[in-house]
Chains A and B, each alone.
Chain A
Amino acid sequence: MNMQCPEVKQQLEEHFDAGETLPGPLLAHLAACPRCMAYQRRLEALTQTFTQGPDVPPQLVQSVIRAVVEHSPSTRRPFALDLNPGWPAGRTPQSRPGAAGNILAAAVALVLAAIAGGYWLPFPNIDYAQWARPLWKAVTHFDSPDYPLASFETDLFGEGIFEAILEETAAAYSVVQNAALPLPVSPVTLTAAITAAALALLFFNLWETHSMTKRHLRG
């Protein structure tokens, strides 16, 4: 053993710091010196521990994604997270579901409401009256001394009288019959229709979320 133990330990540290392989003289000393060999093994174990890192919680990735989804103002918490509390790591939907679907559904609902209310006809050149009375209009006939064989139209809300003569007729009907103007759809039916439209909108949104969820799981 030409080298002394303190010198060997110092060189061992320098070589470990630099990540270099041990030169021949050092290896020869280690082979003959159990004390320095033990020190070298402890250095190896320490370096190995540096590089390994501690154990990681198993749900870490999921908790990170969940935190971002829940606290980011730019994202909406996915409905799928509520349905799947044990969501596999990395499969959690991140994008906002339903934005395009909501817009589409709202547009469709608006069009349907406009048609139903008689405010907009999709094909204005068509004479709807020649086929049948539109569902959104009620045609009322009545006979009185001042308005013989009169008739008038009312829309969903009892309005929508298009000509002055019809307004007068409608007013006369109210006076003569002592009743409200007949509506094409009863208030109960109208409420049911609006509720159905709202439920359809909700269902459409949930269906899209479900579809997106399946795509994430496949992806």
Chain B
Amino acid sequence: MACAVQTGEGHAFDVLAERYAARIYQHLYRIVGHRQEAEDLTQESFLKAFRAIQQYDASREFRSWLYAIATNTGRNALRARGRRGPMVSLDGEENFVPAGTENDTSDAQLRADRQAQLAEAMGRLPEHAAALVDLHYREGMSLREAAAVLGTTEGAAKVALHRARRQLRAWLIRDE
């Protein structure tokens, strides 16, 4: 499909946007922690990809190429504003609510609450660690592929992911 975009087929980019826009948005939200900023950065990422589509090497996986662009876009945005995500303290937060224990809260609200808590926790992680957690868990990338997207080695990614998981557990799951 990316090759179709390279040759100028009108429908091809629409298809790519439909396939990847939501996933890229979720990835960027995990990095920057702001919905509106994530949406703006999603547009910016696709615009960059569209302009650079002639440089895309078809022998590489398009998903990795696009995620690399999005990740760099998110990182640059964070550096531009000189801070890392919403620095909200979790000390006063409720413990991470496990599924099936809610009474009055709807599933949708519960899910939204969990995502908000996770976004806040991800905002405390280094940006590359947040991106790594998202690529590996939500996007289902192998460590090798996620490392390639982030421009690091598989070993370094493994260590970073381990630390990130431990840190997120410490913030989000309070033992009783």
Write the residues of chain A forming the contact surface with B, with a CB cutoff of 8 angstroms. Answer: 9, 13, 17, 35, 38-39, 41-57, 60-61, 63-65, 67-68, 71-72, 74, 89-95, 216, 219
Assuming the contacts A56-B22, A95-B10, A219-B11, asked whether A50 and B169 have C-beta atoms less than 8 A apart, the reply is no
Which of A41, A47, A51, A65 lies in contact with B14, CB distance below 8 A?
A65
With A38-B98, A43-B173, A68-B13 given, name 13 new contacts (CB 8 A): A13-B165, A17-B162, A42-B173, A49-B114, A55-B112, A55-B115, A64-B21, A64-B43, A90-B14, A90-B18, A92-B14, A95-B8, A219-B11
Assuming the contacts A64-B46, A68-B13, asked whether A53 and B98 have C-beta atoms less than 8 A apart, the reply is no
Q: Which residues of B contact A90 (CB under 8 A)?
A: 14-15, 17-18
Write the residues of chain B forming the contact surface with A, with a CB cutoff of 8 angstroms. Answer: 8-15, 17-18, 21-23, 25-26, 29-30, 35, 39, 42-44, 46-47, 50-51, 95-101, 111-112, 114-115, 118-119, 133-134, 137-138, 140, 162, 165-166, 168-169, 172-173, 175-176
In the complex, the answer to whether A41 meets B8 with C-beta atoms within 8 Å is: no
Q: Which residues of B contact A43 (CB under 8 A)?
A: 169, 173
Q: Which residues of A contact B96 (CB under 8 A)?
A: 42, 45-46
In the complex, the answer to whether B13 meets A65 with C-beta atoms within 8 Å is: yes
Complex Cα distance, B21 from A67, in Å, reads: 12
Closest 9 CB pairs of A and B: A95-B10, A50-B137, A53-B26, A67-B43, A41-B98, A94-B10, A56-B22, A90-B18, A45-B98
Q: Which residues of B contact A71 (CB under 8 A)?
A: 47
Q: Which residues of A contact B112 (CB under 8 A)?
A: 55
CB distance from A171 to the nearest CB of B (A): 58
**Chain A interface secondary structure, helix, strand, loop or mixed?**
helix
CB distance from A64 to the nearest CB of B (A): 5
In the assembled complex, 15 residue pairs joining A and B whose CB atoms fall closer than 8 Å, in A order, are: A45-B114, A46-B168, A48-B99, A50-B133, A52-B115, A53-B23, A53-B138, A54-B115, A57-B25, A60-B21, A61-B17, A67-B46, A68-B17, A72-B51, A94-B10
Which of B13, B39, B133 lies in contact with A57, CB distance below 8 A?
B39
In the complex, the answer to whether B39 meets A63 with C-beta atoms within 8 Å is: yes
Which of A56, A63, A92 lies in contact with B43, CB distance below 8 A?
A63
In the complex, the answer to whether B26 meets A56 with C-beta atoms within 8 Å is: yes
Q: Which residues of B contact A63 (CB under 8 A)?
A: 39, 43
In the complex, the answer to whether A49 meets B175 with C-beta atoms within 8 Å is: no
Q: Which residues of A contact B169 (CB under 8 A)?
A: 13, 43, 46
Q: Which residues of A contact B43 (CB under 8 A)?
A: 63-64, 67-68
In the complex, the answer to whether B39 meets A60 with C-beta atoms within 8 Å is: yes
The residue in chain A whose Cβ has the minimal distance to the Cβ of B42 is A64
The residue in chain A whose Cβ has the minimal distance to the Cβ of B118 is A49
